[in-house]
């Protein structure tokens, strides 16, 4: 059983920092709190007691959202469901809607927050790869001021992030990718409420003739201790013609990133297929001529 002595709901950053200082070493921050019970159950026998839970979802700075031509700002308490019902977000962050579809069920998506998904730093966290391809940066606040850090540097390892005990994640800022095709591929041990064994996020922009890759962004999660951008693959494909040979080679280039301690052969096979399928889906979504890709490849990775 999970128990707490006090559940606090500050309505401002000042109130939150005061509560954190008063209960230093005895509190845990929560937003949607959808992971707190699984965390308490996992590998822990008997009752789990957290003296103070501090719910930050009423703090306005954590709930704000804004979209401009060069920046998307998401308050850390933005529910995952917004990536499925907010049209501007869906257009600006083209791989997030498919990621959100895979993310648990309707009820959990309305409660779970994007900031919570990042802070938990699970190697299988679905939200990290899609935001990495948007060059996401994390804004962090404490009573002494604010700082920003790249998402790639924020996640340090399984369950570890660059967040001090007196700090709160405020928001995620990232580059919008309007006009790109987006994709998110994921596989797990079961068909519902899937926890990733491997996942791939992709976004592709085509050149004016729609026969070459103008820009390619790829990131992978679940195959190592932290999610990774596939920068070598991106560079290889940028300005390359859209054809089966380049997509197959790109998929093969990603395999050395598999560093998991278990099921490496399986993850390599999955990753190869997912990178190829993500590129096929994104090029099609971006408007590529379907005749550029042989039917057998489309069939193999459908």
Neighbours of 62 (CB within 10 A): 23
Percentage of the chain exceeding pLDDT 70: 87
- Between these two residues, 298 and 53, which has the higher pLDDT value? 53
- Between these two residues, 259 and 20, which has the higher pLDDT value? 20
pLDDT in tens, 37-82: 666 666 555 577 889 999 999 999 999 999 999 999 999 999 999 9
Percentage of the chain exceeding pLDDT 90: 61
Architecture per CATH, 2-55 = 2-Layer Sandwich (3.30)
Task: Tell me the average pLDDT across 158-177.
Answer: 96
| pLDDT (0 to 100) of residue 295 | 61
CB within 8 A of 180, min separation 6: which ones?
Answer: 94, 203, 204, 205, 215, 217, 282, 286
| pLDDT (0 to 100) of residue 190 | 45
Mean pLDDT of the chain: 87
Q: Is the pLDDT of residue 105 over 80?
A: no
Say whether 125 sits in a helix, a strand or coil. coil
- Residue spans of beta strands (DSSP E) within 177-251: 181-188, 196-206, 213-221, 228-229
| pLDDT (0 to 100) of residue 40 | 65
| pLDDT (0 to 100) of residue 33 | 75
Q: Which of 231, 129, 232 is nearest to 186 (CA)?
A: 129
Q: Is 145 exposed, middle or buried (0-12, 13-18, 19+ CB in 10 A)?
A: exposed
Residue appearing with tokens 């469901």: 81
Distance, CA of 105 to CA of 72 (rounded, Å): 25
Structure tokens at 76: 């850390």
CB within 8 A of 96, min separation 6: which ones?
Answer: 83, 89, 90, 127, 130, 131, 182, 184
Ramachandran sector of residue 157 (left: φ over 0; alpha: ψ -120 to 50; beta: rest):
left
Q: Is the pLDDT of residue 261 over 70?
A: no
What single DSSP character describes residue 241? B
| pLDDT (0 to 100) of residue 296 | 53
Task: Tell me the average pLDDT across 111-131.
Answer: 89
> Is 60-174 in CATH node 3.90.1150.10?
no
Distance, CA of 287 to CA of 241 (rounded, Å): 14
| pLDDT (0 to 100) of residue 133 | 97
CATH of domain 181-300: 3.30.390.50
Q: Is the pLDDT of residue 100 over 80?
A: yes
Q: Is the pLDDT of residue 302 over 70?
A: no
Task: Tell me the average pLDDT across 182-197.
Answer: 66
Q: State which of 43-57, 67-81, 90-104, 268-282 shows the largest mean pLDDT.
A: 67-81
Residue appearing with tokens 């965390």: 39
Task: Tell me the average pLDDT across 84-94.
Answer: 95
Structure tokens at 169: 């994640």
Task: Tell me the average pLDDT across 215-219.
Answer: 96
Task: Tell me the average pLDDT across 83-93.
Answer: 95
Q: Which residue ranges make up each domain of the chain?
A: 2-55, 60-174, 181-300
Please tell me the total number of residues recorded for the chain in this structure: 302
| pLDDT (0 to 100) of residue 192 | 46
Q: Is the pLDDT of residue 211 over 50?
A: yes
| DSSP assignment string, 128-181 | HHHHHTTT-EEEEEETTEEEEEEHHHHEEETTEES--TT-EEEEEEE---TT-E
| pLDDT (0 to 100) of residue 189 | 45
Q: Which of 83, 115, 117, 95 is nearest to 185 (CA)?
A: 95
pTM of the model: 0.88
Q: Could you give the angle at which helices 264-285 and 244-253 cross, rounded to 10 degrees?
A: 140
């Amino acid at each position: 059983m999970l128990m707490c002595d006090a559940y606090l709901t500050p309505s401002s950053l000042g109130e939150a920092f005061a509560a954190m200082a008063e209960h230093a070493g005895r509190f845990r921050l929560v937003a949607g709190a959808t992971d707190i019970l699984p965390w308490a159950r996992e590998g822990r026998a008997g009752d789990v007691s957290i003296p103070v839970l501090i719910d930050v979802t009423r703090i306005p700075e954590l709930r704000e959202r804004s979209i401009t031509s060069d920046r998307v700002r998401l308050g850390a308490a933005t529910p995952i469901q917004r990536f499925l019902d907010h049209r501007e977000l869906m257009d600006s962050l083209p791989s997030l809607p498919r990621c959100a579809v895979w993310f648990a069920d309707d009820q959990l998506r309305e409660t779970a927050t994007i900031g919570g998904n990042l802070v938990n730093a699970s190697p299988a966290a679905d939200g990290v790869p899609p935001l990495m391809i948007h060059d996401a940066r994390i804004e962090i606040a404490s009573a002494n001021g604010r700082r920003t850090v790249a998402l790639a540097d924020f996640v340090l390892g399984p369950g570890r992030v660059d967040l001090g005990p007196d700090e709160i994640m405020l928001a995620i800022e990232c580059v919008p990718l309007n006009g790109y095709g987006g994709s998110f591929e994921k596989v797990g041990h079961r068909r519902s409420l899937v926890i990733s064994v491997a996942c791939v996020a992709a976004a592709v922009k085509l050149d004016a003739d729609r026969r070459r890759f103008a820009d390619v962004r790829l990131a992978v999660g679940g195959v190592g201790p932290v999610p990774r951008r596939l920068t070598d693959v991106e560079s290889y494909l940028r300005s390359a013609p859209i054809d089966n040979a380049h997509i197959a080679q790109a998929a093969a280039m990603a395999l050395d990133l598999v560093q998991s301690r278990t099921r490496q052969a399986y993850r390599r096979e999955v990753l190869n297929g997912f990178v190829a399928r993500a590129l096929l889906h994104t090029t099609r979504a971006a408007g590529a001529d379907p005749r550029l890709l042989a039917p057998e490849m489309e069939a193999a990775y459908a």
